Chains A and B, each alone.
Chain A
Amino acid sequence: MQIVLLSAVPEDKVFFEAAAKMANVACVQVANAEQAVAVLLKDPATIMIIESSQMDAFKAFEKVMSEKVGLFSALLNPNNLFYVASQSFHDAPYLAQSEIFGHFIHRSYTQDNIYVMARLLESSGAERALPLEKFLSKEVKTQTIKITKSVQKRPIVESLKNYVLKIGFKSRVAAVIATATDELIMNAVFDAPMDELGKHVHAQTPRSTALELDEKNVVELKIAFDMKTLGISVTDLHGSVDKKKLLSQHLGRSYENKEYEMKTVVAGAGLGLAHVYRNCGGMIISCEQGVRTEVNLLFKKTDSFRDFKDQFRFLSTFMYFT
């Protein structure tokens, strides 16, 4: 396994080479998409990091992948494809719309983020993405909560907010973390369950309904903190993420420039997740189809809300079909 870097941006070379070194993987820089694809054809486990700030350059890469590998070829694993850009994810809509989207890396990284980047690269190389605590330092303290009734959500979210304030996060950030966790739990309780025909079980269920969450419907919340970063993880046992829909309709949609109008008749937590991604540093969605979905969020502890907004942002999707 090796990493291929297709980017002429000098800081990308420094950052990704350092992350590759930490992940114990060789990193080679290539000059064009053809060279990148040639490496992939020799070794299908190759991880690719592609500069994608310009739509034309990205489309050119996608075209070469399509022609030389095939977009639906077994050789092409989007879990191994990282796209780096200077703009926000929703300002690069061609990425969200692409069949070969895997991960978005915002060029807001610093030296401090080499560790997280290395863990993402390791996740790509591994059979399954690494769990939440691996994205935090060794000093991490983790707490796991099993949610067996939907009504537990509110007190859990309120105590989480108090905990986050106690460990020194700013109050606005604490509210953001509480709301993000609220959305993820709601999503896991009401939107994840599917029947055998692939239909959402609770499409019409009012979200205030008190549900007993037994066996397959149990939701797990993990809270991890290493003094610098807070990690939140919510896991359901349904594995029902529709990646294409999630990316194109919600996470990749721009609400700054174009109007994002809320349709009150449509159920689903898309908007919730869009709000979550907008407000966290890193979001890792790992979905084993039909088995489990784990959504991990990373929030950096900062001295101000402004600094919180400036933190390293990324969106990672790992999809597993067994």
Chain B
Amino acid sequence: MLHVVKEQRGDILLVKLTGSIDENIDFGTVLGPPSSTKMDLLLKEVPRINSVGVKAWIKYFQGVVAKGVQLRFMECSTALVEQINLISNFTCGGTVESIYVPFCCASCGTELLGLFRCVDLKKIKFQIPDLKCAKCGGIASFDDIPEEYFAFLQRE
């Protein structure tokens, strides 16, 4: 089940989504009509979204944007980054602020995630520096193909 936490911060409605998004999602019910002109979505804890969930997502957020709301997507999970890359209208005119970038340790195989602001990723031209593995101290490298994982930033 998708769990939603909403918090009003000044003129921004902060929405945190937790859980997979599928055919059971009814954004209209769980999020309701937008109560602010700015909406920030925290998406770190969305591990999966299926194609029916994608349709519901686009339908709801297109409606929100049509009402003049500014959307910002923050801390996007790897599953959501894949969708943003795959479907050109997934962000419905909103801005992707930050995404999680996957790493894998060459020594022990541990998977790590690093949070990057999109503006910084562009600055470093997607040359992702290695991380130190939290488990064994080895070197963890970016674990995807830059042209594919950052495709949405390159087509902007």
Contact = CB atoms under 8 A, between A and B. Distances in A.
Interface of A: 154, 170-172, 175, 178-179, 182-183, 186, 206-208, 255-256, 259-262, 264, 269, 271-272, 275, 278, 303-306, 309
Nearest to A170: B111
Nearest to A266: B55
A305 B144 contact: yes
B54 A262 contact: yes
B153 to A, nearest CB: 14
B145 interface: yes
A272 B62 contact: no
A305 B104 contact: yes
Interface stretch (B33-41, B66-74, B81-89): B81-89
B86 A207 contact: no
Contact of B51 (A170, A208, A261, A275): A275
Contacts of A179: 48-50, 79
Contacts of A275: 51, 86
Contact of B24 (A170, A175, A183, A208): A208
Interface residues of B, number: 30
A183 B51 contact: yes
Contacts of B143: 172, 304-306
A175 B58 contact: no
B62 to A, nearest CB: 7
A160 to B, nearest CB: 12
| Complex A-B, nearest 6 residue pairs according to Cβ-Cβ distance, in ascending order | A272-B51, A207-B23, A259-B88, A264-B59, A304-B104, A207-B52
15 contacts: A172-B102, A172-B143, A175-B79, A179-B49, A182-B22, A182-B48, A186-B50, A208-B24, A256-B148, A260-B88, A262-B89, A264-B55, A303-B104, A305-B143, A306-B143
B88 A154 contact: no
B114 interface: no
B22 A271 contact: no
Given A179-B48, A262-B54, A262-B89, 16 more contacts: A171-B111, A172-B102, A178-B48, A179-B49, A183-B50, A208-B23, A255-B88, A261-B89, A262-B58, A264-B58, A271-B54, A271-B87, A303-B104, A305-B102, A305-B143, A309-B145
A154 B86 contact: no
B104 A182 contact: no
B83 to A, nearest CB: 9
A209 to B, nearest CB: 9
B47 interface: yes
